[in-house]
Amino acid sequence: NAGVTQTPKFQVLKTGQSMTLQCAQDMNHNSMYWYRQDPGMGLRLIYYSASEGTTDKGEVPNGYNVSRLNKREFSLRLESAAPSQTSVYFCASSVGGYTEAFFGQGTRLTVV
Amino acid sequence: GQQVMQIPQYQHVQEGEDFTTYCNSSTTLSNIQWYKQRPGGHPVFLIQLVKSGEVKKQKRLTFQFGEAKKNSSLHITATQTTDVGTYFCAGPGGAQKLVFGQGTRLTINP
């Protein structure tokens, strides 16, 4: 009964370091998303994947890359972290693009 | 791209008062969803509205979808401390994307 699992839950990076946020869902969903949440900015879409093998940019893709490894997994990579990327990152999945989205617990990332 | 605007950004009420948040789009939406995020938590789906003029209720929560399918509202009657959190609307952003409004953060004075 895991739903959407994100790792890690917390991370502190130094400017310029790289890291990958992992996301996996066990609901056989087609669509997966990465959002970032900043105070007063709501949830902004970074990248999404409408189906296995496809990825597309969202509202704020700069500085990020993604990989839809298989139907279950959708990872988000920061190649060279910047303080502006300090945020809470949420992975989500849904059956289709416009259906109910299920969210992971979030990753709180601080870049110093 | 598609934008969904939500107001107000913040709302503070006394326990027992009503609360309403509004969501507006410049274009017609095929559907709209509402989510609740408790402090420190993740967004959780509440409901989806699809039909023009649709009204749905969940206990003290009433959700409406405008006749033109460009706006929506969430109304909470007689708020309780358990209603604290941020409420988001979300709509299709084209090409299978789901885009969220900025959210309304509700705080309640017990």
Q: What is the pLDDT of residues A43-88, one digit of tens each?
A: 999 999 999 989 999 999 999 999 998 999 999 999 999 999 999 9
**Facing residues of B61 across strands?**
B58, B76
- Return the pLDDT at A27: 96
Strands B104-109 and B85-92: antiparallel
Say whether A79 sits in a helix, a strand or coil: coil
Per the prediction, chain B carries an average pLDDT of 94
- Return the pLDDT at A83: 97
Cα dihedral B6, B7, B9, B10 in deg (nearest 10) = -140
From chain B, pick out residues whose CB is under 8 angstroms from the CB of A48.
96-98
From chain B, pick out residues whose CB is under 8 angstroms from the CB of A94.
98
Minimum distance, in Å, between the CA of residue A63 and any CA atom of chain B: 20
Minimum distance, in Å, between the CA of residue B50 and any CA atom of chain A: 11
Nearest to A73 by CA among A16, A17, A2: A2
